[in-house]
Amino acid sequence: MTDNIPAILVLADGRTFRGFGFGATGTQLGEAVFTTGMTGYQETMTDPSYHRQIVVATAPQIGNTGWNDEDNESAGNKIWVAGLVIRDLSHRVSNWRAARSLPEEMASQGVIGIRGVDTRALVRHLRNFGSVPAGIFSGDAALRPVAELIEEVKAQPSMEGMDIAEQVSTDAPYTVAPEGKKRYTVVCYDMGVKTATPVNFSKRGIETVVVPANTPFAEIKQYSPDGVFVSNGPGDPATADAMVEVVREVLAAKIPFFGICFGNQILGRALGLGTYKLKFGHRGINVPVRNHLTGKIDITAQNHGFALENPAGEGKPAAGATWESDFGPALVTHTCLNDDVVEGVALENGMAYSVQYHPEAAAGPRDANPLFDQFLELLEKNSTSGESK
């Protein structure tokens, strides 16, 4: 904390914020987004869905609990955020599980941060003008002419139209064993899956075969899956044509389907909906969502910059909207209470459903965790092999 390394956050629209660097030193580009979570920065930073994004924390002090070896949400404990922007860095680590400090972990993984930023002003700017390309420049890089830095930031590719799920996906299939007796087998498409998701399946007696993004449907038949799951992940869902076709084959084969986040957008596209980029997205662990099948409201963990189009039409409430898909009647099951964004879709026959948020509660509330039980019930109802498998 005694090192006041000069640093500057530069937005593509010309807005700049000066502060001090921590973690690694140098230059990092990405899309500036903000998260409203008051806790869980380690889970956020290791979530593959944040690939290529510079995350702004709205919580005023970060680093209090240090860094441990249990709460990472990515294979290999990799930090996926492109950079971290905070107001205050905790002077002291205070947690019995902490193995090291946040700056130490960031430095070891080459992740650049900037502290001392007026994050309230920055978040208001992002809310007003939307998530924009940005860059963190620290050390000698921060001393370059600002006009030169702005041009470098503007030259980077936009997140819109970017197909990057394969960059965070597993290279080869692997299996997560169930706890206790094996009941069912589920194939999980890793679009950027969080480690807590297969753990939730495992607790329910489900063997999870995790396969790379875009694995052809013909290849997963060898596992004789009782169900198929598509995970969260980064990038523009409008580019995911290969995965949309896979899910259409899954639906045609009448295999139970469950999707989370990116998986929700993939299912929506398979059912005929389009997608679009949100102005500043939903990121945090306090987003209210209404389940229109039950009337229940859940407080959810979210991280998405894209969403499904409203099948009811522009300007109309999305809640409970229905439409005809190639696989039968479909409906909007969940919407966000903040802005009426579609947060869940399903086939009326119950064979496929998905949500835009993260029910695995890492980090975040456990309100939506029963969605995993819903999938287990769907497997029980439709599996031909059952617990004998």
Which of 261, 304, 334, 343 is an active site residue? Answer: 261
Contact between 230 and 189 under an 8 Å Cβ cutoff? The reply is yes
Q: Which of 376, 163, 353, 362 is nearest to 260 (CA)?
A: 353
One-letter amino acid identity for 90?
S
DSSP classification of residue 143: G
Contact between 80 and 50 under an 8 Å Cβ cutoff? The reply is yes
Where is the binding site, in residues? 49, 233, 235, 262, 265, 303, 305-306
CA 247 to chain centre: 19
Contact between 61 and 88 under an 8 Å Cβ cutoff? The reply is yes
Structure tokens at 262: 């990116």
Is 261 one of the catalytic residues?
Answer: yes
Q: Is 365 exposed, middle or buried (0-12, 13-18, 19+ CB in 10 A)?
A: middle
Bridge partners for 229 per DSSP? 188, 258
| Long-range CB contact pairs, 325-332, < 8 A, 24+ | 325/270, 325/271, 325/272, 326/248, 326/271, 326/272, 327/248, 327/251, 327/252, 327/270, 327/271, 327/351, 327/352, 330/271, 330/272, 332/292
Is 292 one of the catalytic residues?
Answer: no
Contact between 254 and 225 under an 8 Å Cβ cutoff? The reply is no
Vertex 274 angle, CA 220 and 153, to 5°: 95
Please report the sign of the dihedral spanned by the C-alpha atoms of residue 220, residue 308, residue 12, residue 5. Answer: negative
Q: Which of 281, 292, 296, 246 is nearest to 357 (CA)?
A: 281
DSSP classification of residue 178: P
CA distance 312 to 319: 9
Is 207 one of the catalytic residues?
Answer: no
Which of 282, 292, 334, 358 is an active site residue? Answer: 358
Where is the binding site for L-glutamine, in residues? 49, 233, 235, 262, 265, 303, 305-306
Alpha helix ranges (H) inside the chain: 41-45, 102-108, 119-129, 146-154, 165-168, 196-203, 217-220, 241-252, 262-270, 370-382
CA 167 to chain centre: 14
Which residue numbers are catalytic? 261, 358, 360
